[in-house]
Amino acid sequence: MVTASGDVRIPEQLGDDSNLIAGRWTKARSGARFPVVSPVTGAVLAEVPECAAVDVDEAVAAAKAAWPAYRSMHVFKRAELVLRVAELIRKQAETIAEVMAVEQGKPYTTEALPELLETALNFQLAAEDVVRMETPIIPMRDPAKRVLTFREPYGVMAVITPWNFPTVIPSEYLGPGLAVGNCVVMKPASATPLSMILTAHCIQQALDEFGVPPGVFNLLTGPGAVVGDYLVAHPDVALVGFTGETVTGEVICSRAGIKQTLMELGGNGPQIVCADANLEEAAKAAATGCFMNAGQVCCATERILVDRKVHDEFVKLIVGEAGSWVLGDPLDPATTMGPLNNEPTAVKTERHLADARAKGAQILLGGARQSGRPTDLYFPATVIDGVTRDMLLNTEETFGPVAPVITFDTDDEAVEIANGTGYGLQMSVFTSSIRHCFWYADRLRTGNVVFNDTTDYWEAHEPFGGGGGTKSGHGRLGGRYTLDDVTHLKTVAIDIEKTL
């Protein structure tokens, strides 16, 4: 294990033949490739294929051809296969996590390695849950009828994923998708394809060991607006799983038409701190929510709403907590926060802070990129007070290491601010009253609410996703709930009086 990103050895599987089509690792048809640059060191880590429509056609054709045999594989056998993927990822976890830390920027010990273990867990959970997918038998008014239901895979599933969790987000689709018998064509984010390509080697090894036809799982790298766009509109793709920005999700839905979609989109998670909360715990949790993965988490704490009665004390505590986050090289065990992943995210963070300052908010800690680092992406933990509803920090998703403090006077006002942005992914509330918990749980318009822990709390097997009708999307990722979203229910009615 090395302790500096510059010393990480990039495995030789990562290069211009990193496309996986029909069980073979290949180049883009055109031979084009693009560099993957480390946000930590600025070095080019590898050059990977830059695909186009022709590569998508090949991958989709391979998945389509593999599907009849793969869907008829017995479910217990498929479960064994998916469990084997989990085992192989666990064996490679340290190597893949090192690559993830240098390509994404997240700390190796506290985030990258745990992400790989959760990636493996998602395959394991899918393998365990798929063999217990019970479906109803429905009593009919016609006494001669017996009606049974079955969950069936869709066919070819497209999976398109972002750069903030390069392997765990793909695994939330791939584990369930493969376990139920879909064949997959996936496209990882162009900023962070390397750790996913290494994970794909584990998947393909398991597929080879089980002797399934080539093409059950395919991976293509390339620009979202070219490869992703063509893939989701492809007539032979039946199901689309997408995690990314809300605006991209809207474009994809319009291109996918009536195909089944799972859309895991942006968030603007508030942490609400009531006057009866344990303030030390609330400040610690808010810091985790704001600074984990440098704030680049869909359920990050994007806003801290604090009851005016405890504002001054809470602000002192959050500044203290934020000051303890150590910005640095993700491979250094002392580091708790790495650089931002990319320039657009840094620019957006600066834009939101500038807007807030111009409208009267005060920066109490951090607030600007640090100079003298290997790249220009090192942004320290930042606390800003006096944030109001009209500021971009409140209305939009920032996705940077910022703790914006907004003050409220009544619970009704807190709910109004929390619900007022159109996003509704995960929210958190700190209170010592169980009555308060249920009061808020009933009123917050969101897919998930956490009480007395960070907005960044989740476990792999709980249902996670946007609250109905919000900009955060639809469908559920997590454990057995995803199995429902990657299958459709087939109803079979039998007239037993007319059988032998």
How do 487-495 and 183-187 pair as beta strands? unpaired
Considering the complex, state which of residue 268 and residue 487 has its C-beta at the smaller distance from ligand NAD.
Answer: 268
Q: Out of 39, 224, 339, 367, which residue is the one contacting ligand NAD (CB under 6 A)?
A: 224
Selected range binding ligand NAD among 56-64, 82-90, 196-204, 239-247, rule: CB under 6 A: 239-247
In degrees to the nearest 10, what's the CA dihedral of 69, 72, 75, 76? -70
Count Cβ atoms below 10 Å from residue 142 Cβ, excluding itself.
Answer: 10
Q: Give, rounded to a whole angstrom, the gap between the first and last alpha carbons of the chain.
A: 68
Shortest separation between residue 414's beta carbon and ligand NAD, angstroms: 22
Residue 189 touches ligand NAD, criterion: CB under 6 A: yes
Residue 252 touches ligand NAD, criterion: CB under 6 A: yes
Q: What are phi and psi of 377, to 5 degrees?
A: -105, 10
How wide is the angle at C-alpha 125 spanned by C-alphas 119 and 131, nearest 5°? Answer: 145
SS3 category, 159: strand
Considering the complex, state which of residue 190 and residue 335 has its C-beta at the smaller distance from ligand NAD.
Answer: 190
Phi-psi region of 53 (alpha: psi -120 to 50; beta: other; left: phi over 0): alpha
Q: What is the token pair recorded at 254?
A: 């319009």
Residues 416-445 close enough to bind ligand NAD by CB under 6 A: 425
Residue 250 touches ligand NAD, criterion: CB under 6 A: no
Cα–Cα distances (Å) from 132 to 72, 136, 479, in that order, read 17, 13, 12
Selected range binding ligand NAD among 31-39, 186-194, 277-285, 414-422, rule: CB under 6 A: 186-194
Q: Out of 204, 248, 398, 419, which residue is the one contacting ligand NAD (CB under 6 A)?
A: 248
Residue 298 touches ligand NAD, criterion: CB under 6 A: yes
Q: Out of 38, 104, 164, 301, which residue is the one contacting ligand NAD (CB under 6 A)?
A: 164
Residue at token pair 């985030």: 111
Considering the complex, state which of residue 274 and residue 486 has its C-beta at the smaller distance from ligand NAD.
Answer: 486
Shortest separation between residue 357's beta carbon and ligand NAD, angstroms: 24
Residue 460 touches ligand NAD, criterion: CB under 6 A: no
Considering the complex, state which of residue 123 and residue 314 has its C-beta at the smaller distance from ligand NAD.
Answer: 123
250 catalytic residue (yes or no): no
Residues 143-162 close enough to bind ligand NAD by CB under 6 A: 160-162
Shortest separation between residue 104's beta carbon and ligand NAD, angstroms: 11
Contact 60, 231 (CB under 8 A): yes
- Interatomic CA distance for residues 463 and 482, integer angstroms: 8
* Catalytic entry in 183, 202, 298, 299: 298
Shortest separation between residue 280's beta carbon and ligand NAD, angstroms: 28
Residue at token pair 């493996």: 120
By CB under 6 A, the count of residues binding ligand NAD is 31
DSSP readout, 71-85?
Answer: HTS-HHHHHHHHHHH
Q: Out of 229, 321, 329, 456, which residue is the one contacting ligand NAD (CB under 6 A)?
A: 229
Q: Out of 2, 54, 144, 225, which residue is the one contacting ligand NAD (CB under 6 A)?
A: 225
Residue among 214, 229, 51, 70 at smallest CA distance from 155: 70
Contact 77, 181 (CB under 8 A): no
Selected range binding ligand NAD among 133-141, 263-271, 283-291, 367-375, rule: CB under 6 A: 263-271
Selected range binding ligand NAD among 53-61, 125-133, 246-254, 430-438, rule: CB under 6 A: 246-254
Strands (E) across 275-420 are located at: 303-307, 362-365, 382-385, 402-408
Residues 36-65 close enough to bind ligand NAD by CB under 6 A: none
Run of H or E residues at 249: helix 246-256
Contact 62, 25 (CB under 8 A): no
Considering the complex, state which of residue 399 and residue 430 has its C-beta at the smaller distance from ligand NAD.
Answer: 399
264 catalytic residue (yes or no): yes
| Spacing of C-alpha 480 from chain mean position | 17
* Catalytic entry in 264, 302, 396, 397: 264
The residues annotated as belonging to the active site are 264, 298
> Which residues here bind ligand NAD, judged by CB under 6 A?
160-165, 169, 187, 189-190, 224-225, 228-229, 232, 243-245, 248, 251-252, 264-267, 298, 397, 399, 425, 472-473
